[in-house]
Amino acid sequence: MNMNVTLRPFRLSDADDLLQFAGDEQVTKFLGWQTLTTQAEALTFIKEVCIPHRWRRSICLNDRSIGFVSVFYDDGHKADIGYVVAAKYWGQGIATVAVKMAVKQVLIDFPEIVRFEAFTLVENKGSQRVLEKVGFKFEGVLRKYVKIKGSIVDTVVFSFLNTDVM
Rg, C-alpha atoms of the chain: 15
pLDDT at 2 over 60: no
Whether 22 shows a pLDDT value over 90: the answer reads yes
The percent of residues above 70 in pLDDT, for the chain, comes to 99
Count of CB atoms within 10 A of residue 87's CB? 16
pLDDT in tens, 142-151: 999 998 888 8
Note the pTM of the prediction, 2 decimals. 0.92
Paired residues of 152 in beta bridges: 147
pLDDT reported for residue 28: 81
Q: Taking residues 74-101, report their average pLDDT.
A: 95
Q: Cα(39)–Cα(20) distance, rounded to whole angstroms?
A: 10
pLDDT of residue 153: 93
